[in-house]
Amino acid sequence: MRKLVAIVSVISWTGFWAFGYLALAADPNDGNRMTVAAILATVAFLIGVFTYMKLARDSGPAEWKRVRPPEGV
């Protein structure tokens, strides 16, 4: 399940950057295209944030790696 969430996260962040660029690069006179790209970028951003938070929340302290050994060892 974590791999599926990670794949969805990567795809949604890619969509955020792609549609965000399209929204920013669109002709200002073409409001419909800019609006659709901005909405898709926002949806991709929200999905990316929620999937990232799910991945971060699922990894508990037992899976974290120590940079240095604990003191007293």
Give the residue with greater pLDDT, 40 vs 1.
40
CA distances from 63 to 15, 20, 46, 57, 59 (A): 29, 34, 26, 11, 6
pLDDT of the residue at 56: 85
pLDDT of the residue at 66: 67
pLDDT of the residue at 60: 67
CA distances from 44 to 3, 52, 70 (A): 18, 12, 40
Domain spans of the chain, in order of start? 2-57
Give the side-chain half-sphere CA count within 13 A for 3.
0
pLDDT of the residue at 49: 96
Structure confidence by residue, pLDDT tens digits, 11-70: 999 999 999 999 999 888 888 999 999 999 999 999 999 999 998 887 766 666 767 777
Identify the burial level of 51 via C-beta atoms within 10 angstroms of its C-beta, where 0-12 means exposed, 13-18 middle and 19 or more buried.
Answer: buried
